[in-house]
């Protein structure tokens, strides 16, 4: 903000020449203005079954988890016997696995494998 207020007096003297377009902007490329269908946008996200496999793998590799108890419907605290700190550590491991940061307000809601899969599969930054 300080930089913007310092530059404000100078900006009124800045002039940028603008050339009018010689042709209609819509005739340049109709693909620039194309709307994407739901199927095309959905293609940007990871496959839910792939996400489920990776989430289950992360949970099974967590040192305090008995791998035989892990299933897609497992709840971190009730089914796997983890405490809230363990749940936070699992969410952090999922962030590392999928390459993006899960906001704290969303991380607090992720308390089962299904919720983790749903959140990650619907997140555009998941890799």
Percentage of the chain exceeding pLDDT 90: 26
Catalytic residue from among 47, 53, 83, 108: 83
Any residues with CB less than 8 A from the CB of 92 and at least 6 apart, and which?
A: none
Residue 40 reports pLDDT greater than 50: no
Any residues with CB less than 8 A from the CB of 79 and at least 6 apart, and which?
A: 69, 71, 73
- Over residues 75-101, mean pLDDT: 90
Q: What number of other Cβ atoms are within 10 A of residue 34's Cβ?
A: 9
Q: Confidence band (pLDDT; 50, 70, 90) for 84?
A: confident
Cβ atoms of residues 81 and 70 within 8 Å: no
91: which 2 tokens?
């969410």
60: which 2 tokens?
């099974």
Distance between CA atoms of 121 and 40, rounded to whole angstroms? 15
103: which 2 tokens?
């906001």
β-strand partners of 112: 75
- Over residues 23-32, mean pLDDT: 54
Residue 83 known to be catalytic: yes
pTM score, two decimals?
0.63
């Amino acid at each position: 903000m300080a930089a913007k207020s310092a530059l404000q007096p100078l900006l009124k003297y800045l002039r940028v020449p603008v050339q009018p377009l010689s042709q209609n902007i819509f005739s340049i490329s109709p693909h620039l203005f194309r709307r994407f269908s739901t199927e095309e946008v959905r293609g940007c996200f990871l496959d839910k079954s792939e996400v489920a496999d990776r989430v289950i793998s992360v949970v099974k590799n967590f040192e305090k988890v008995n791998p035989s108890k892990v299933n897609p419907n497992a709840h971190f605290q009730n089914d796997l016997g983890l405490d809230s700190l363990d749940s936070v550590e699992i969410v952090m491991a999922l962030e590392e696995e999928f390459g993006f940061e899960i906001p704290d307000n969303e991380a607090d809601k992720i308390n089962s494998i299904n919720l983790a899969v749903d959140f990650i599969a619907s997140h555009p930054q998941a890799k």
